Structure 1
Amino acid sequence: MVAECIMGGAVIMIILLVVVMPVAILLSGALAAALIGGLVKKDVDESHKESELLGLSESNPWSQEKTSD
């Protein structure tokens, strides 16, 4: 009975180490990257308000607006 309990605990630890931990690490890295990217973009946008490239970077190149030929 004790051996079965130990095996169950070992299986749970293996599942945690193989499945849960890598997923948690990847998701926390993605969250950190999103936060840092948002903060850096906000800072750069504020420091380059007068730049003509700021409007270009925020425009949608795939929009179907007609341009004059």
Structure 2
Amino acid sequence: MLGGIAIIVFVVLLIPVSVLMTGAVASAVLGEVLHRDGKRRHEGSELLDIPD
């Protein structure tokens, strides 16, 4: 019985949390990479001086 409860806790809690955290990290990395790429491609543009 204890093994079944452990499996349910693992499936219900740990897997969704790990998927969400992985997505958050991937989003942060992708956002930073695209931000740096945009700054590099448009270097010297007056639009870069506008505050975010």
TM-score, normalised with respect to structure 2: 0.91
1:34-61 deviation line (CA, Å, top 9, x unaligned): 00110111011011011111111xx26x
Q: Which has the larger radius of gyration?
A: 1
RCO comparison, higher one (Cα < 8 Å, 6+) = 2
Structure 1 segments unaligned to the other structure (5+ residues): 1-6, 61-69
Is it true that 1:49 corresponds to 2:48 in the alignment?
no
Aligned-residue sequence identity (percent) comes to 35
**More helix by percentage:** 2
Structure 2 segments unaligned to the other structure (5+ residues): none
4+ long deviations beyond 4 Å: none
TM-score, normalised with respect to structure 1: 0.70
